Chain A
Amino acid sequence: MGREAMLELREVGVCYRRRRWLRQGSDEFWALRDVTMTLQRGETLGLIGRNGAGKSTLLRILAGIIRPDRGEVRAFGHQATLLSLQVGFVPHLSGRENVFLSGLLLGLTWRRIQAEMDSIVAFSELEGFIDEPIQTYSSGMRARLGFSIAFHADPDILLVDETLGVGDAAFVKKSTAVMRERMRSDKTVALVSHSPGSIRSLCDRAIWIEEGTVRSEGEPAKVLDEYEAWVEAR
């Protein structure tokens, strides 16, 4: 396709070590062994694989939260953020205060948060409650606020892990709809999912990760077929 690369990984490996003092040995676990991949501008890339295959670690590498123990990551000055719901929420603070706290954590500037406040509140449908402490909220209300902030953060590269959390049924529908819209637009997205259906319908390309390495890559339909055949054969 010859499009612009937003992020490039070359032979990336990530190792979690559990150091045990005064105990025999130290266990090393390579969550990623050898991953080479590119995330291109405007695409929605699906990441599939079983639990513990290294998908979440890969997202953390893409988000710049951790760095590889071997290999190389090239960012090109873009902001990549994990869609983190309710990050940094403090129960004793009001909804509005939590918007500031969570928004700052997600990379929004103070001015942006002020400018977007009305829109964030409106989207979460919490107009009457936004100045109440969030410990008085139901878990559904909290989830709505969390999603609304994360959605407004709108980074250059959006990294999404699994499904969109909880909330009442109507809101799940609404949040899923706006997420899908964003993925179909020119947004650069990496999506981790267990659901072959959403990868098939949303992604331009898919990567199958198994035991920390790329097993297959390409058209979602092709990659998913290989993955499903392999899962069934086991």
Chain B
Amino acid sequence: MPLSAMSSSPPPVPPGRREHFDRYLRLVVYKTYAELKAESERTYVGFAWWIAEPVISMAVYYVVFETILDRGTEDYAVFLFVGLVPWRWLQTTITHGASAILGERSLMQQVFLPKILLTWTAILADSFKFVVVFALLLLALPAFGYPPSAAWAWLPVILAAQFLLITGVTTLVAALTPFLPDLRIVLENVVRLWFFLSGVFYSVDVVGAELEPYLQLNPMTVILEAYRDVLLHARAPDSVPLFAVGAASAVACVLGMAVTRRFDYEYPKLRF
């Protein structure tokens, strides 16, 4: 039997790495399912909320900007919705992810498991909800005068870039909040600022030539513009910034996973 010291190098993985991998994979999938089911059972209409919530928030912005301020652009409701649905994917996942490890303290003290699985569960659950709503959005668009076009072939690229962005930010946030729970309150406001700077309810070209280049440094601006290019204007998005977002986010993912792994045995010791 190999003599492996637990206090240095790999964790004690009993026979069969493949079996463990299989178990962890099923655990993430099953825990995601459990989370989604629990969430939909907590409310009366259940997962109808997944669709109702973005529609309601779209209605709120529509009333404020189109009806009251009269600042809406052409076909403002569709413009808003195409921005809000991907934005909410990012926002809910990050917020949810901030408690992914922090909130599982009692579980962590009873069994060992790689903590990244908890983060992935949060990401998967919110991503699943997004996919459902996004699919409905795609089905509804033709009815509003935006039929599918060749540009839709870019959607997998945009979705992948945003998924990497969300995963990168969420793994980092989830890895750090257990050390500093106050971060969640700061985060809430940072995400709100991010929302206002991302052109969810306005088109970035309204800010003027002087400021626009700065807004383009915001990865969410890049992503949302890409969605609108493809879905509303039937044209290919600017690919260079999109790939830059994807690449930078991939680095963040690797970093977030490394940090989580580094503290795998520290999280259960934290007293928050």
Q: Which residues of A contact B (CB under 8 A)?
A: 14, 16-19, 21, 60, 63-68, 71-79, 81-82, 84, 87-88, 90-93, 97, 100-101, 104-110, 156
Task: Please tell me if the beta carbons of B108 and A65 are within 8 angstroms of each other in the complex.
Answer: yes
Task: Please tell me if the beta carbons of A74 and B6 are within 8 angstroms of each other in the complex.
Answer: yes
Task: Please tell me if the beta carbons of A73 and B7 are within 8 angstroms of each other in the complex.
Answer: yes
- Complex Cα distance, B1 from A105, in Å, reads 25
Question: Smallest Cβ distance from A218 to chain B, in angstroms?
Answer: 26
Which 4 pairs of residues, A with B, have the shortest CB-CB distance? A84-B110, A67-B265, A75-B12, A92-B38
Interface string of B105-120 (1 = CB under 8 A from A): 0011111110000000
Chosen A-B contacts, 15 in total, with CB atoms closer than 8 Å, are: A63-B112, A65-B268, A73-B7, A74-B3, A74-B6, A75-B4, A77-B14, A81-B111, A87-B111, A92-B34, A92-B37, A101-B27, A104-B23, A105-B111, A108-B23
Task: Please tell me if the beta carbons of A156 and B11 are within 8 angstroms of each other in the complex.
Answer: no
> Which chain B residues lie closer than 8 Å to A105 at the CB level?
27, 107, 111, 113
Q: Which residues of B contact A (CB under 8 A)?
A: 1-7, 11-15, 19, 22-23, 26-27, 30-31, 34-35, 37-38, 41-42, 107-113, 179-180, 182, 265-266, 268-269, 271
Chain A residue nearest to B104 (CB atoms) is: A88
Task: Please tell me if the beta carbons of B179 and A19 are within 8 angstroms of each other in the complex.
Answer: yes
- Complex Cα distance, B29 from A97, in Å, reads 12
Chain A residue nearest to B2 (CB atoms) is: A77
State whether A64 and B12 are in contact (beta carbons under 8 Å apart), knowing that A75-B4, A92-B38 are contacts in the complex: yes
State whether A64 and B2 are in contact (beta carbons under 8 Å apart), knowing that A77-B15, A101-B31, A109-B23 are contacts in the complex: no
State whether A110 and B3 are in contact (beta carbons under 8 Å apart), knowing that A67-B265, A87-B107 are contacts in the complex: no
> Which chain B residues lie closer than 8 Å to A88 at the CB level?
31, 107
> Which chain A residues lie closer than 8 Å to B38 at the CB level?
90-93
State whether A82 and B111 are in contact (beta carbons under 8 Å apart), knowing that A66-B268, A110-B22 are contacts in the complex: yes
> Which chain A residues lie closer than 8 Å to B268 at the CB level?
60, 65-66
**Selected contact of B271 from candidates A18, A73, A101, A110, CB within 8 Å:** A18
Question: Smallest Cβ distance from B26 to chain A, in angstroms?
Answer: 5
**Selected contact of B7 from candidates A18, A71, A84, CB within 8 Å:** A71
- Complex Cα distance, B269 from A78, in Å, reads 23
- Complex Cα distance, B246 from A4, in Å, reads 52
- Complex Cα distance, B108 from A67, in Å, reads 13
State whether A78 and B108 are in contact (beta carbons under 8 Å apart), knowing that A90-B34, A109-B19 are contacts in the complex: no
Question: Smallest Cβ distance from A37 to chain B, in angstroms?
Answer: 14
Chain A residue nearest to B106 (CB atoms) is: A87
> Which chain B residues lie closer than 8 Å to A97 at the CB level?
30, 34
> Which chain B residues lie closer than 8 Å to A66 at the CB level?
265-266, 268-269
Task: Please tell me if the beta carbons of B27 and A104 are within 8 angstroms of each other in the complex.
Answer: yes
Question: Smallest Cβ distance from B175 to chain A, in angstroms?
Answer: 16
Question: Smallest Cβ distance from A164 to chain B, in angstroms?
Answer: 15
Question: Smallest Cβ distance from A15 to chain B, in angstroms?
Answer: 8
Question: Smallest Cβ distance from B31 to chain A, in angstroms?
Answer: 7
Task: Please tell me if the beta carbons of A60 and B34 are within 8 angstroms of each other in the complex.
Answer: no
> Which chain B residues lie closer than 8 Å to A21 at the CB level?
180, 182
Question: Smallest Cβ distance from B73 to chain A, in angstroms?
Answer: 42
**Selected contact of B26 from candidates A64, A65, A92, A104, CB within 8 Å:** A104
Chain B residue nearest to A65 (CB atoms) is: B112
Chain B residue nearest to A161 (CB atoms) is: B110
> Which chain B residues lie closer than 8 Å to A77 at the CB level?
1-2, 4, 12-15
